[in-house]
Structure 1
Amino acid sequence: MKKQHIQFKTIIYFLSLILILNACKQKSIETVSTQEVSNYITSHTSSQIEPSDEVFFRLSNLKYDQYKIGTELQSDAVSISPKVKGKFIWKDNQKVVLVPDEPLSFDQLYEVKIDLGSFFKDTQLKDYTFKFNTDRLIFDPYNFKLNQLSSQDSDELEFSADIYSNLNLTQENIHKYIDVEVEGKNQEIKNLVLRSPSIFHFTVGPLLKNDKEQVIVVKHDFKERNSESKGERSTKIPSKKDFVVISSEIIDNQKGHIQVVFSNGLKKQQFDGLIKIDNYSGQYKFTAKNNQLDIYVDNTIQGKHTLTFNSAILDKNNNPLKAQQEFNLVFKQTMPQIKAVSSGTIVPFEKEVIFPFEAISLDTVEIEIFKIFENNILDFLRYSKLSDASSDGFIGRVIHNQKIALKNISKKSNKNTWVRYALDLHRLTTLEPGAVYQVRIGFKKSYANFDCKGKDVSEINDTKQSTFSHFRYYNGYSYEHNDDPCYPAYYRRNRFIYRNLLASNLGLIVKEAKNDHIKVFATDLKSGSTVQGVTIKLFDKQQQLIAEKKTDGQGMVDFIDKPSGLYVVAKNAKNYAYVALKNNLSNSMSPFEISGTSHQNGIAGYLYGERGVWRPGDTLHLSYMLYDKKNTIASSHPVNLVVSDSKGKTKFNFSETENSDGLYVFHVPTNTSDPTGQWSATARIGNHTTSKRLKVETIKPNRIKVDMEFPNDEIDVSNNEAFKLVASWLHGAP
């Protein structure tokens, strides 16, 4: 009995051990190290997106399979909660995207669950989950204006406004979201245009002034995808008899630009002394057009000020302003910003590699340099352009991080003024030939020269791990924080500079022709001259070397019959150049005539005329040039030319044997009664044909303006008077 009890306990321990081991094998990816995660998933959707943004994740080290691209994943491979109508598809060999039937809901937390076992059969990990929030609904009508439609009629006005929104507004659906009423009557919204990614502009009118003042009301009340918006704003249309200031607003703080709208058109007058801003002693500049007055003041002005309009201001009918008017304006501080002042990836250099940028309202910036190693460039170009700001840890890493006080670069203050700065990358790090360096310039709240007095931000802590890490939510976050420098949400990647640089003096042009013919041209970017002896390597899509040559005296290399060539790498001493031969990266040729002529068995022909357009009745002098590389055609072989008019009727058919070194000449007569339009000419020699379109048009003759001047109202032939005749050519603009 005791022996059986021991055996039973042994079985229990053994089963427990199996369960524990099995649990270890099925552990969640969220419990493993970051290094283990990166072996399977390199990137995915950030934590905060617009409902219309792409939901994706990118896997790593998958075998290439071109047939799966564009196909739908199995339902158990990935899921999203709350459930979204749509499907997950392969966008490329590594990237999976969600294709929803309609945009995602506003202000919603989503969770994407990925079954790693569906993609990696040898993994011990099971599921990986990432979450993201969509932005809340934004719908804010603002910037109301009343403008005169013409300078002659002050009583006919047009109302315009802007809408700040993350909805996809169109002329067809705008009435679903907003109503504009004048004294209770609904008005038609016209000319809806998108001025920027989130700002829409529309107009209403014409609106006529009445004997009494009228009220324009803009209101909205709707529900849309898990959110709702409701609001109402109004402005007034003054009466015919009143000359008043309708509105006054700051258009651009940085430029000190104020825009004022009057009820009537303005008389040409001096506004100095008639318009004043309290506690401001700087200069004014005025620009008036119809009923709109633009005022420019110094950009150093800040804070709350009162703008006063004197009643002595006159409209175009000399009517004075109804009464003195005052408007309260708030000149905001210029928000801390940086911007790149140049573009492109390849930077020619000698001893210095200069990186210029501009900053405003900043004391300090943070510089980070991400190095994409030379031996990883082809892997980088597999899914990216050379200019793409990738942070893939498989191809590179951060090699330098430094905080730089801007006063150490330039003593000039950037308070409310853009100031240009320049960095020499050679002083920051050692630049390895052939490597690509991503220069990142960012900033934090503590680096900004911005006053946050009056705002309680003491309870808000920035959750970002570093300046350049992705934005993370913090307690107390609100969407309005995205545009407020007093909050951490303002300091995001989209406000920073990310630019890839390849320090090289070598330029590369690659041309692909028919029959898998690739031509490569190498030039010196500093002098523009061709470079001889440059090593040009051609790689296929598996990054295997398939050809290697050196440029000739013209800086050129020919690769013939290389259909699998996808990457071109050039090297000359310490100078490198890279080109990915992808169709979507080639320069567009659509604006140019590049059809040229094609050879048929080594034979080519070219048909041309002595001019580009003829009139009916002219003789068309056409020439045909024959190129016979192998001399397979006898010099006495005839060339037949057929010319048809615009209606398809044959007007000329003649065979010519006489030629001079393959140049045949034809003289084609026409009649004045022949139809105009596109004629056609076809030259044939053997089985080879060459065609050309001919323009036969009626051209207006030169015109002369004639004026004859008479000294008296009556002409007396007996006086033998002389008259002056003036003639001028009407030739248009010189």
Structure 2
Amino acid sequence: MKKALCMLSIFSILFCALCSKQEPAPVRSQFHPKISAFTTGQVSCLAPIRIVLTDQIIQAEQIGAAIEPSPFSFKPKIKGVAVWANDRTVEFRPTERLPQAQQFEATFNLRDIMIVEKGQERFAFSFTTVKQSIDLRLDGLSYEDSDHMNRQRLTGVIELADEQDISDVENILSAKKDGKTFAITWLEQQDNRKFRFAVTAIIREEKTSQLTLKWDGSPIGVDDKGEIEIEIPGLETFSILNGRAVRDDREYVELRFSDPIKPKQELNGLITIENHPNTHFAITENVIAVYSSSPFVGDVQVTVSPGISNVMGRKITAESRLTVTFEEFKPQVRFVGDGAILPTSHGLTIPIEAVNLRAITVSAMLINDQKIPQFLQVNDLKGDQELERVGQIVWRNIVNLDPTPNRLNQWIRYGLDISPLVAKNSGGLFRISLSFQRQHIACQCPETEESAENAIAVDPWDEDVLQERRYYYGENYDEYWTNRKNPCHPAYYLQWYDHDIQATQNFIISDLALIAKRGGNDSLFVAVTDIKSTQPMANVSLKVLDFQQNIVGSGSTNGDGIAIIKTSKRPFLLIARTQSQSGYLKLNDGSSLSLSHFDVSGETVNRGLRGYIYGERGVWRPGDPIYLTFILLNDGKLPTRHPVRFELYNPRGQLVETLTVTSSMNGFYTFQTKTQANAPTGDWLATVQVGGVTFSKSLKIETVMPNRLKITLDMHGKEELDAGDISGTLSAAWLHGATASNLDADIELKLAPMQTTWPNFADYSFDDPAITFEFESQQVFKGALNEKGVTTFSKRVAPTEAPGKLQARFTTRVFEPGGAFSTDYFNLPFHPFRHYVGLLLPDAGDPDRIQSDSTVTIRVVRVTA
């Protein structure tokens, strides 16, 4: 019996020990002199694991090559391959999606790729994968077409915690109504995490009905399912459906109605909000947005009175009251603007904004002047890459804000005085970080034993511990994930993929405004002005570095603030210095300012030679002599009597004649040539070659017969044509004034692509580059004019698959009794669509590419033709 009790006790102890086993704490990575950055914290299940080395290890041709054996080892194990992502970044790419909410311990063996000192062979670190979750939000019912009030659609958004392929997400949702399954259209996706959808073709019946929207997260490994009943109002009902609080760029109350609302109606007095007398409204289909001159706080009482009209003129007959709740602003802090240069006119004060905060913690990292060129090798002035290599924390402070009670729940602007920082650290680039802790917030939080027990006690100035704690969730991952946006929970103060309370921004204190322009002769034009006064700055020392930080040019500004510097190699960075300040300007192609908003059309001067070819007329007949003149401006680049070679090519590309001259009259060279009487007609090509540069001009050789009839094509005064039936009037008269009675005529139409532009949206792109448009000529009219030389015509033209706006090219012929004819050409813009959608891509200095691994904002506009 005693033996049995003993065995039972041992088993109970072991069982309890297993039950109390906790998730291991993440590996605390130690500083390694050969590593500047590594994967840590919370990462996507699809993300590669990276190690960034401090030095270049391989040559450019080795980038992308696999590394065998892999220098990575993981616990638990991960299948995949290690490759060189660039000349100093090693990337491990898993072959399968990693399990979610899994902590991995990793070891990187540096000896597999380089020679290191003893004790530096291995580097240990850890990371955790994101736990997948679903957040479903509905916008509400709207109309596919305001002209058809019986067809509605339901739109909404599914937001996931981690990236997921659209093919898996499509299986999450289903929609049914009266036993009928509706197709779900997926409209757009953002970062493979945010998916917008629409349930379309929902028929609105006479009586109110129900649409059931179900979701099931099992296709993406989420144990979450449910359904929502959406009420589809009957056609006989015109009422308010719901209201909600919206906080975008501006906060407003959104009221959604069963019918499209009549635009341009007076709503003052019909919609009122308690304690908000000054309101204004915006109507969009069946939605009314109500704005107020004062902020919305807490529960807002909204009254909708009878009298609001729908597009059919029907009015709401019953009063409705509803409560819309605006939640408290989460405690936040942010910088005002994103500029990196702080002029001294600001008094060393940085504008910041905070909401619901009593205090903030401020820290500053300094990158001194000597390290800034190294920093700019991988960053611009606003960058944050590889900071540990060049910067160190030099200043920390707690700043009290203490907002008054009546200024809570609204953004308040403050001035952050950094003069104590600058007094101790003059010169360099400062990276300012703003953050806060639980004791700094102005929100009311219930104090419970559990919250006190879970609180993260961290010395705010212990940077190593703080960095570790910013990612550590311990054994309570699910709880922390759920509460990551709850200011009363410790999870709010950790860093998540979609949430980080810390705001950071770079600043360099300088009054130097720099402009640089590279010339074609290895020269650099530099202008320096004072930011405060815009006046030129004289005697500013200038230094130009290449990418390896070697000096390739230097100089100083003159009294006009201008300097021209000769560079011996391709420049990378311009440094300007006075006795107390410095300024920096990157000169690589990706950093140049975009010229898309300016008219800079023209030609590039090649080898310093400029030339132009002209003739005495625009069209020649076969057999006519052709007199051409070439003007050359060489600025002394060529010696006297340098040969100038002329060549003439026919439309088949065959060389017909060659002439060489060595003399000119003040740079004017003349060439006399001639075509044969039976020469082929078309576009001939004249070229002039001088000093290794070729200039060219197209010559039209045509058999020209002058018109003897004046032809007029009138499209009823229209300056643009629309798809559908086009009609017009054709009239003709002899040039001597007589009526062209009863003459035969025909009109041929050809459609060709043209650039789709509107003056107010000149920077937007409206044309679809994926569509190749082909249109065979159509005969719009064939017949005879009446006794007055006039006729009318009509033709239906509706092209499909057009890339954008088209040009309608009409070719009209009126035949004389003997068979000869006169020809007229007439062009008009043609709109194959009623509406056009334009895209404005981000302007990053290079119009042919968009930076990867960055948030890209694309502006969209719809224009009615």
Distance 2:684 2:299 in 1: 72
Query: What's the CA shift for 1:308?
Result: 4.8
Alignment partner for residue 416 of structure 1, among 402, 409, 418?
A: 409
Which residue is equivalent to 1:472?
A: 471
Are the structure 2 counterparts of residues 290 and 544 from structure 1 closer, same or farther at C-alpha, using a change threshold of 3 Å? closer
Shift of 1:95: 3.0
Identify the match of residue 452 of structure 2 among 455, 458, 468: 458
| CA drift at 1:692 | 5.5
Distance in 2 (CA, whole Å) between partners of 1:443 and 1:61 is 35
Aligned length: 663
The answer as to 2:90 corresponding to 1:96 is yes
- 1:286 touches 1:294 (CA, 8 Å); kept in 2? yes
**Deviation at residue 114 of structure 1 after TM alignment:** 1.6
Q: Residue 405 of structure 1 is aligned with which of 381, 400, 404? A: 400
1:604-623 counterparts in 2 under 5 A? 604-607=609-612
Partner of 2:863: none
Where does 1:268-347 land on structure 2 (aligned, <5 Å)? 270-272=266-268, 274-275=270-271, 280=275, 282-297=277-292, 300-304=295-299, 307-310=302-305, 313-317=308-312, 319=314, 321=316, 325-347=320-342
Task: Name the residue aligned to 2:504.
Answer: 498
Is 1:435 matched with 2:441? no
Instruction: Tell me, yes or no, if the aligned pair for 1:311 and 1:320 is still in contact at 8 Å.
Output: yes
Distance 2:189 2:217 in 1: 21
Structure 1: runs of 5+ lacking an equivalent: 1-29, 708-730
Deviates more, 1:527-536 or 1:391-400: 527-536
Using the alignment, how far apart are the partners of 1:259 and 1:125 within structure 2?
60
* Aligned 8 A contact 1:508 1:523 in 2: yes
Tell whether 2:173 aligns with 1:178: yes
Residue matched to 1:5: none
The counterpart of 2:195, out of the listed 195, 200, 204, is 200
Aligned residue for 1:459, secondary structure, equals helix
Once the two structures are TM-superposed, the CA of residue 577 in structure 1 deviates from its matched residue by: 2.7
| Pairs within 5 Å for 1:125-136 | 125-136=120-131
TM-score by length of 1: 0.75
Query: Is residue 426 of structure 1 aligned with residue 419 of structure 2?
Result: yes
Moved more, 92-101 or 235-244: 92-101
Question: Residues 589 and 325 of structure 1: is their aligned pair in 2 closer, same or farther, counting only changes over 3 Å?
Answer: closer
Q: Shift of residue 662 of structure 1?
A: 0.9
Does residue 688 of structure 2 align to residue 683 of structure 1? yes
Give distance in 1, aligned partners of 2:691 and 2:584.
Answer: 46
What's the offset of the Cα at 1:235? 0.7
Aligned twin of 2:383? 388
CA distance in structure 2 between the partners assigned to 1:464 and 1:525 by the alignment = 45
- Cα 1:474–1:204 shift into 2, 3 Å: closer
Conserved? CA contact 2:343–2:509, under 8 Å: yes
Tell me what 1:555 maps to: 562
1:221 and 1:327 map into 2 onto residues whose CA distance is 32
Deviations 1:400-436 (A, max 9, x none): 11122235xx989642222322234324432655411
Correspondence 1:28-177 to 2 at 5 A: 37-53=31-47, 55-60=49-54, 66=60, 68-101=62-95, 103-118=97-112, 119-166=114-161, 168=163, 174-177=169-172
Q: Matches of residues 687-726 of structure 1 in structure 2 within 5 Å?
A: 688-691=693-696
Write the letter of the residue equivalent to 2:667: G
Q: 1:449 to 1:129 in 2, by over 3 A?
A: same
User: Judging changes above 3 Å, is the alpha-carbon distance between structure 1 residues 541 and 160 closer, same or farther for their aligned structure 2 residues?
Assistant: closer
Cα distance per residue 1:123-157 (max 9 Å; x no partner): 22554322211222132221242112333332222
Kept in 1: contact 2:686–2:698 (CA 8 A)? yes
Task: Rate the CA distance shift 1:457–1:615 in 2: closer, same or farther, 3 A.
Answer: farther
Sort the Cα spacing of 1:149 and 1:547 in 2 relative to 1 into closer, same or farther, 3 A.
Answer: closer
Corresponding residue SS for 1:380:
helix
RMSD across aligned positions (CA): 4.7
User: Is 2:251 aligned against 1:251?
Assistant: no
Q: In the TM superposition, what is the alpha-carbon distance from 1:541 to its structure 2 partner?
A: 5.0
Q: Please say if 1:662 is aligned against 2:655.
A: no
Q: Do the aligned partners of residues 634 and 253 (structure 1) sit closer, same or farther apart at CA in structure 2, a change above 3 Å counting? A: closer
In the TM superposition, what is the alpha-carbon distance from 1:366 to its structure 2 partner? 2.0
Q: Distance in 2 between matches of 1:95 and 1:170?
A: 27
Alignment of 1:570 onto 2:583: no
| Contact 2:647/2:687, CA 8 A, preserved across alignment | yes
Residues of 2 paired with 1:226 and 1:677: CA distance? 68
The 8 Å contact of residues 193 and 201 in structure 1, kept in 2 or not, is answered as yes
AA aligned opposite 1:418: W
2: CA distance, partners of 1:544 / 1:52:
41
Distance (Å, rounded) in 2 between the aligned partners of 1:270 and 1:535: 64
SS in 1 for 2:423: coil
Q: Distance between the aligned counterparts of 2:574 and 2:534, measured in 1?
A: 20
Instruction: Using the TM superposition, give the Cα deviation of residue 376 of structure 1 relative to its aligned residue in structure 2, in angstroms.
Output: 2.2
Q: 1:414 to 1:193 in 2, by over 3 A?
A: farther
Deviations 1:696-721 (A, max 9, x none): 9xxx99989889xxxxxxxxxxxxxx
1:241 is matched with 236
2:490 paired residue number = 488
Aligned-partner SS, 1:478 = helix
Paired residue for 1:711?
none
Identical-residue share of aligned pairs (%): 21
TM value normalised by structure 2: 0.65
Distance 1:559 1:626, change over 3 A: closer
Residues 254 and 334 in structure 1, CA contact (< 8 A), matched pair in contact too: no
SS at match of 1:473: coil
Is 1:449 the counterpart of 2:451? The answer is no
